[in-house]
Amino acid sequence: MTQSTTRAPIVVGTDGSGASELAMRFALQEAQLRSTSVRAVCAYDFTVTRATMSGWLTVPDSYDLDTQIRDATYESIARTVEEARQELGGPPVEVEIKVEAGRPAQVLLDASADACLLVVGSRGSGAWGRLTLGSTSTEVVHHAHLPVVVVPSRTQAKPT
């Protein structure tokens, strides 16, 4: 059973990376504290038209690759959400999963139009990565109309 709420949701960007898994845990924990829901959003920038026009992919007309990509991505995010829920414990949080084609930053910004908070992971690694954000998190921070939390990766969070 999950809690139902009319409060603005927390939007979290997820792409299957370790950084986005940390962002998911943060968003779920914050949602528990605020008694609100989470909208987990994954954007992909791959379409059958783009791939076939470039000549590197040939698919029959009856094959719906876009749908298969969305379905596989949805299932992956659902597993990530469930794993994070089990790790956190506490009160259940309602989670809506959205998988959309498009540029990740724009999809996240659009999905957060009615949100109270936008959470993204950072992807930096090594000495240079600790000094920079990924392109999606940078764009989101600069263009968001709401508070944004950029969750550092575990390697970024360690003291040097």
The full DSSP string for 108-131 is: HHHHTTT-SEEEEE----HHHHTT
Average pLDDT over residues 5-33: 91
The counts of H helices and E strands in the chain are 7, 5
- Assessment of whether the complete model's pTM goes beyond 0.95: no
Between residues 134 and 47, the one the model is more confident about: 134
Helix or strand run (H / E) with residue 95 = strand 95-101
Average pLDDT over residues 47-61: 53
With a cut of 90, say whether residue 125 has pLDDT above it: no
Q: What pLDDT sits at residue 93?
A: 95
Between residues 156 and 145, the one the model is more confident about: 145
Average pLDDT over residues 83-99: 94
Q: Determine how many CB atoms are found less than 10 A away from the CB of residue 141.
A: 15
Between residues 134 and 141, the one the model is more confident about: 141
Q: What pLDDT sits at residue 122?
A: 86
Least confident of 23-32, 48-57, 87-96, 145-154: 48-57
CA dist., res. 160 & res. 151, Å (int): 18
Q: How confident is the model at residue 34 (pLDDT cuts 50, 70, 90)?
A: very high
Nearest to 39 by CA among 89, 86, 90, 100: 100
CA dist., res. 88 & res. 32, Å (int): 10
Task: Specify the CATH number for 10-157; select among 3.40.50.620, 3.30.360.10, 3.90.1520.10, 3.30.450.20.
Answer: 3.40.50.620
Least confident of 2-6, 28-32, 97-101: 2-6
Q: What pLDDT sits at residue 63?
A: 60
